[in-house]
Amino acid sequence: MADEADKTEQRIGLHSLRPAEGSRRPRKRIGRGEGSGTGKTSGRGQKGAGARSGAKTRPNFEGGQMPIHMRMRKLRGPHMKKSMPFEPFRTHTQAVNLGDLERRFDAGAEVTPQDLAKAGLAKRKGIPVKVLAKGDLSKALTVHAHAFSASARARIEAAGGTCVVVESQ
């Protein structure tokens, strides 16, 4: 029992850290005699490109077979992407939530995209603003935006405010 306690005490500490048993292997010493198993040709075989000094194959080299990137079909589309755009119908908008409008604007305020940018909500120039219904709104606000979600429009009007759709530039 005392020996086991001594062993645990010896193992603890930065001075006695060692890798787990069997987790490290000694490096393969090639070219050190026939008895080592990697003598003479040092694991490179007899002749050929792989036996020569400086022989390296590219990561995608398939032994001379036609590589997969050349076997696969070419997709039509813009020449830079080599295929069709991934999301051709995605709309790019900046989201503004009702909770943010509640915190940053007073009752009866006129909220325009410029006011949203000043308040730090919709700062990206030239990208349409869409009002979403996350959070609660208890103030009557006149909100000017490029788009409104149906639930956001309903909540703004329920609070006594109005929604004005602004045309994109």
Q: What is the pLDDT of residue 30?
A: 92
Q: What is the pLDDT of residue 60?
A: 84
Q: What is the pLDDT of residue 68?
A: 86
- Please identify every stretch of the chain with a pLDDT value under 70, giving residue numbers as ranges: 1-11, 73, 75-91, 169
Nearest residue to 145 via CA among 103, 104, 99, 121: 121
Q: What is the pLDDT of residue 41?
A: 92
User: Could you tell me the two tokens for 55?
Assistant: 């022989």
Q: What is the pLDDT of residue 46?
A: 92
Q: What is the pLDDT of residue 17?
A: 87
Q: In the chain, where do the E strands start and end?
A: 94-97, 110-111, 129-132, 142-145, 147-148, 162-165
Q: What is the DSSP string of 117-162?
A: HHTTSS-STTS-EEEE--S---S--EEEESEE-HHHHHHHHHTT-E
For residue range 2-39, what is the model confidence (pLDDT) as tens digits? 566 555 556 578 888 889 999 999 999 999 999 998 99
Ordered domains of the chain (ranges, CATH): 94-165 (3.100.10.10)
Q: What is the pLDDT of residue 71?
A: 85
User: Could you tell me the two tokens for 68?
Assistant: 């997969």
Q: What is the pLDDT of residue 85?
A: 56
